[in-house]
Amino acid sequence: MISIKTPATSANLGAGFDALGLAVSLYNYVEMEESDKVEIISADGTQIPTDESNMVYIAARDLFEVCGKKLRGLKIRQTNNIPMTRGLGSSSACIVAGLVGANKLLRSPLGNDDIVDLSAQIEGHPDNTAPALLGGIVTAVFDGRKVHWVKQEVFTKLKLAAVIPDFELSTTKARACLPKQIDFRDAVYNLSRAALFSASLLTGKFENLKTGVDDRLHQPYRMELIPGGKEVFEIAYAHGAYAAYVSGAGPTIMAIADEDNEFFAGKVQFSLDNAGLTGWKVRELKIDNNGTQIIDAN
C-alpha cells in the first residue's frame, strides 16, 4: 500500500492568471494499491466518486497507459481535507496524487517533468497541478503538450489566511464569466503586476504585494459571483494584510500577512462575524515548499 500526501494550491496570485501558483499547508491523503477490481472509499465521509470516474483513478490509469502497462484495478482510500470547488486545487491534488502513486507502483519510470506535463494535459492548465507536485511558488507556461516551469522555494516572514465561504463556485462557471477579448492596456497592466508580485515576494519587498495582486483579467468578473467577497478584501486590508486575491477560480479569498501580525486570522474572523458574514471561515496556512510526497510505500 502506497500513501501519498498532496498539498492544496492557490493559483493565479492575482495578476498571474493561469501562470502562477503556490502550494499551501493543507493536505489530501491517498492510499493506493493494485487490485483485481476498482475499489474506492472515502476515509473521512467526504462524498467522492467511487467508480472509474474518480479523478485519482483516472490519473493513475492514464499514467499506466502512457507507460504501456495494463491496469487491472486499484484499491484507493482518500482523505479529503482540501474543500472541493473552493479555489484551492482539490481536483489538481487528486490528479497529482493519482499520477505520483501510479508512478511509484510502476517503480518510477517517469520523472517530475513527465508528471508535470501529464498532469497539465489532464487538468488543462498547470497553475494548480505544478505547485501541487513540486511545492513552493511555480511559474509555468503550458504550450498544449509541454509545461515550461520554474519552481522557487519561499522562505519568508509571511503567513497566509484562506477565507473560505460555505458556498461552491465551479471552475466552469468562473471561466464562463470571463471576457472573450481584452484591451491591450489590460494585458500590459497584468503582465507588469504579475512580474512585480513574483519579484517582490522572493526579495522581501512585501509592500509591493498589494499592487502585484491587482488585475483586470479575471478578478473583477469573478467577484460578481462571490457574495461578500469585496467585504472580505476590505476586512483583510483593514487588519494589515499585505495582499488579498481570489484564490484560483474562487470563491476562496487568500490573504497574505506578516508572520509578526499577531492573531491576524482571528481578527479577520471576528470582523467577518460582526459584519454578518458568518458563512466565511478563516484558516491560517503556510507556504509548502515540498509538494507531493510519498509518506509510506509498503
149, pLDDT greater than 90: yes
What is residue 167's predicted lDDT score, i.e. its pLDDT? 95
Per-residue pLDDT, 118: 97
Domain that holds residue 187: 158-285
- Tens-place pLDDT, residues 100-126: 999 999 999 999 999 999 999 999 999
**Distance (Å, whole) CA 222 – CA 169:** 10
Based on the fold, state whether residues 231 and 84 are members of the same structural domain. Answer: no
Regarding whether 123 and 167 lie in a shared domain, the answer is: no
CB atoms within 10 A of CB 181: 5
Both 131 and 171 in one domain: the answer is: no
Q: Assess whether pLDDT exceeds 80 at residue 272.
A: yes
pLDDT value at residue 208: 97
Answer yes or no: is pLDDT of 6 > 90.
Answer: yes
**Quick one: pLDDT at residue 177?**
94
- Can you give the pLDDT at residue 157? 85
* Cα(148)–Cα(157) distance, integer angstroms: 28
pLDDT at 101: 97
pLDDT, average across residues 157-168: 95
Q: Is the pLDDT of residue 144 over 90?
A: no
User: Domain check: are 131 and 20 in the same one?
Assistant: yes
Please give the pLDDT value at position 156. 78
Tens-digit pLDDT profile for residues 169-184: 988 999 999 999 999 9
Return the DSSP state at 224.
Answer: G
231 plus 136 within the same structural domain: no
Q: What is the pLDDT of residue 143?
A: 92
Same domain, 139 and 224: no
**First vs last C-alpha separation in the chain:** 5
The Cα 9–Cα 88 span in angstroms is 5
> What is the reported pLDDT for 296?
80
The one-letter amino acid at 289:
N
Place of cell 499585505: 242
Number of domains into which the chain is organized:
2
Specify the higher pLDDT residue, 153 or 244: 244
- Domain at 241, CATH number: 3.30.70.890
Do 92 and 50 belong to one domain? Answer: yes
Residue 140 has pLDDT above 80, yes or no: yes
Q: What is the pLDDT of residue 240?
A: 97
Does one domain contain both 144 and 262?
Answer: no
% of the chain residues with pLDDT over 70: 99
DSSP assignment letter at 223: G
Looking only at the bridges linking them, the beta strands covering 147-152 and 137-142 are antiparallel
Name the nearest CA neighbour of 209 among 26, 83, 27, 22.
Answer: 22
Query: Same domain, yes or no, for 26 and 98?
Result: yes
Place 158 in a pLDDT band, splitting at 50, 70 and 90: very high
The answer to whether residue 155 scores a pLDDT higher than 90 is no
Mean of the per-residue pLDDT values of the chain: 95
| Residues 10, 148 within the same domain | yes
Higher pLDDT, 1 or 276: 276
Q: Let me know whether 59 and 103 are in one domain.
A: yes
Q: What is the CATH number of the domain that holds 70?
A: 3.30.230.10
Residue 297 reports pLDDT greater than 80: no
**pLDDT score at 225:** 96
55 with 85, same domain? yes
Average pLDDT over residues 215-240: 96
Q: Can you tell me the mean pLDDT for 11-18?
A: 94
Residue-wise pLDDT tens digits, 48-72? 999 999 999 999 999 999 999 999 9
